[in-house]
Homo-oligomer: A and B are copies of this chain.
Amino acid sequence: MKNLPLAKVYQLLEPGPVVLLTTARKGRANVMTMSWHMMVEFEPPLVACVVSNADYSFAALTATKECVIAIPARRLAQKVADVGNCSGRDVAKFEKSGLTPLKAKRVAAPLVAECFANLECKVVDSRLVNKYNLFVVEVLKAWIDPRQRNPKTIHHRGYGTFVVDGSTIKLKSRMR
């Protein structure tokens, strides 16, 4: 994994891919599938995300205020669905899914070795957690796997249907 400049993080999340969110609490790591996230600020990168209080990860995220957002490419789609189909309450999801936790640098939550990008995050605003389960997190450190070239991400349309990245178009733009 190589360092990714924080100013480039939004380019990974703005397109809306399905991601994995990892947490660690009392030595126990967990991973969940997440699609409800968005960029909030370019730099330092802020991300908003919804982690339901019905999810096992909610308690760990609330208690530790740390997580990793990991971005899987298409070849991990089945594992992403598998991770979404069970709860950390019942199973050790890293072991069951065959995903590999790696030690992060700034947070206790693990990176996911198979993902092409990993974002180490801390919770910076919890005001909307009670009402909406909405966390604002800051990306402290970002990693990219240079061996995965032009990874295609997947986007969830509900009930296990995913659309895969297709062609790319470049338009004249003043937008960042």
Contacts and interface: CB of A to CB of B under 8 A. Distances in A.
Interface of A: 10-11, 14-17, 33, 35-41, 46, 48-50, 77-78, 81, 84-85, 125, 127-128, 131-132, 134, 136, 152, 154-176
Number of copies: 2
A136 B48 CA distance: 12
Nearest to A133: B40
Q: Which 6 A-B pairs have the closest CB atoms?
A: A16-B16, A166-B166, A160-B173, A15-B155, A38-B38, A81-B171
Given A38-B49, A50-B40, A15 B125 contact: no
B158 A176 contact: yes
A128 to B, nearest CB: 6
Contact of A38 (B36, B84, B154, B169): B36
A159 B174 CA distance: 7
Nearest to A50: B40
